[in-house]
């Protein structure tokens, strides 16, 4: 079973995401040409439930940045980095 990233939002709602290294390659491929914020939201919209997105929409910019930073820091690689490049 793949390890997941868990984060509790300020309103107490918990979201669960795959770690960056477990985001499906097809999703990364489809978003590879998008700029940072567009890529982040497109990926989150694909991975989260509608309920999760409703709670995500309540975040202010700092809270959103904290979520993305925690997600990135809880993973072995960042989006845009391939597993091949992380092992060299």
Instruction: Write the pLDDT tens digit of every residue in 42-74.
Output: 999 999 999 999 999 999 999 999 999 999 887
Are the C-beta atoms of 5 and 74 separated by less than 8 Å? yes
> What's the whole-number average pLDDT of the chain?
86
Percent of the chain whose pLDDT exceeds 90: 72
Question: What confidence score (pLDDT) does residue 86 get?
Answer: 42
The two structure tokens encoding residue 19 = 């770690």
d(Cα 27, Cα 47) in Å, to the nearest integer? 9
d(Cα 15, Cα 25) in Å, to the nearest integer? 21
Size of the chain, expressed as the number of residues it contains: 88
């Amino acid at each position: 079973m793949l390890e997941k990233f868990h984060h509790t939002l300020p309103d107490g709602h918990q979201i669960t995401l795959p770690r960056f290294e477990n985001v499906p390659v097809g999703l990364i491929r489809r978003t590879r040409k998008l700029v940072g914020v567009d890529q982040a939201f497109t990926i989150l919209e694909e991975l989260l439930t509608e309920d999760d997105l409703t709670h995500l929409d309540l975040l202010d910019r700092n809270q959103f940045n904290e979520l993305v930073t925690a997600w990135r820091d809880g993973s072995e690689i960042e989006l845009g980095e391939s597993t091949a490049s992380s092992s060299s």
